Structure 1
Amino acid sequence: MKKSLLFLLFCHVSSPVKHTLKYFITASSGVPNFPEFVGVGVFDEILVGYCDTNIMKVEPKQDWMKKLFENDPQHLEWHNGECFENLHNFFKATIYGLKQRFNQTGEHPSVSLLQKSPSSPVSCHATGFYPDRAMMFWRKDGEEIHEDVDHGEILPNHDGSFQMSVDLNLSSVPPEDWRRYDCVFHLSGVKDDIVTKLDKAVIRTNWGKTSIRVAPSEVPAGPVVGVVVGLLLLTLCITGLFIWRRNNNGFSPANSSDSSSSQTSSVKHAALI
């Protein structure tokens, strides 16, 4: 700051008019075709200098500024140091710290294969990535395909990260050809793509784990009738056995008169039944 003030006084030391010198700084991360750091110097609302991490040098934008750098190379050296050493490194570390704090480094997206049922499309799902400049597609034999592919939108998560998915309809693909397919997730600013091979062993699904409830109207009538008839017959058999054992247990006739009496009693009992 002290050197900036000296620079301002040096340029217009003989002028009693007040002047302003402003610096505008932009730092970014993961933005395609845009430098990570941009610095702009504006003197009395006039652009006098520019630097960014793509050109890696300070460019004077006014003739008098060029002449100043030529006559005093120390000013050019100081501005280069500010742009590409002090300010650039400071803002780069600041952005990295913020991304770490909010878990938005873009380095840890999760990609998985999902399928609702055996006849449903296979969904390649990515979540937890940042920023939202990402793309995902299916490939067959290493070539991107568009037929039987349904691309979903990029949606926000509650933590500020994003998610997306792309579905592949495999109804016409024989199981032996599944190995020819893979899903590719590309995040802007990240060098390596995440490639997931289509493999039944890694597909996440919940079929077979959900209990099946049958409505009463869907229960077949035949088995129910059969169960009711069977229970009724079993009840009659048990009742008849109980009556037979009660009538014959310990009542064997000792003589003819007892036998006649027993028979009469049995007839009466049968009549009551």
Structure 2
Amino acid sequence: MKIVILLMFCHTTAAVMHVMKIDFTGSSGLTEFPAFEAITEVDDIQVVYCNAKIVEANQDWMQEIFTDHPDQFQWAKDHCYVNSPPFFRYNVDLIMNHFNQSEGIHIFQSSSGCELNMETKELTGFMKYGYDGEDFLEFDLKGRKWIALRKEALFLKQRWDLDILNINLFVDLLTNQCYLWLSESLIAGNRTLFRTDYPSVSLLQKTPSSPVRCHATGFYPKSFLMFWRKDGEEIHEGVHPGDILNNEDSTFQYRVDLDISSVPPEDWARYDCVFQFIGAEDKILIKLDKEVIETNQDESSQIRIIIIAVISVVIAIIIIALAFTAYKRRNERPLTPDSENMSL
């Protein structure tokens, strides 16, 4: 499985938006990861992975695009093999020298792409760079200049503002080229990108005193709402949302916990969990009900309980066996002469 580490920025979208995003990562001091790698996503689905040695299409329809448009496949190879690795290696070294960092693990990343509003057809490009997990620079597409997101980035902003050739290149990439690639992806991958997969929603609880977790999994797209209600109104007090996680089948999962410590049992029926895709009218509702709550108690805890129970039973059996053996020996002991005289 390919991993991009320390991604500090993410792009959220509304229901009418489609997004193409490319995350580039250059690193120094890492031995278990490539010094350069990139991941391309369309609507949060990984479609291309590459590093300095390989370019992989992760969806069948993306492979078809590469086959039908060899110029795009060549562009990907040029950037992954030739252009991007030295660019990121050079800038990692440049920033390390600026910060007087001679060794250690350091990460230089970019997240760039475009969002397409399907109703207005408006296209918005974006490009941002980060260093060691913190935002560093952002490209102002309209102003055609770089914005330093921290004072330590001013030196690089000044250098990049002078590179008019690259600025013009970035403007073209974030507008014309990105629109072309995103449009082709939406056509080729329409069965995947325009589908709606409804989730399986369940209530989970580790112990009777633990928060009740409303868990949804297997849904697509990622534009959704999920929350707890009381008497039909959304609540926030005692509610703890989680993170959106990717499933291996290009769907998502999400959770939101409800603290029930102050909720009396007679009030449980007033609460429910709601899942709804943004822009859709239908909802999935699940009532707070002890009868539908599943336990997701830690397996290790269950195993410990079973082991303790088995050991207790074994010890009890051994004790009973020893007591019975002692009793039997005492009753079967042969009579001595003295005991015979005592019985006469």
**TM-score normalised to structure 1 length:** 0.48
**TM-score normalised to structure 2 length:** 0.39
Q: Which has the greater radius of gyration?
A: 1
Richer in strand (by share): 2
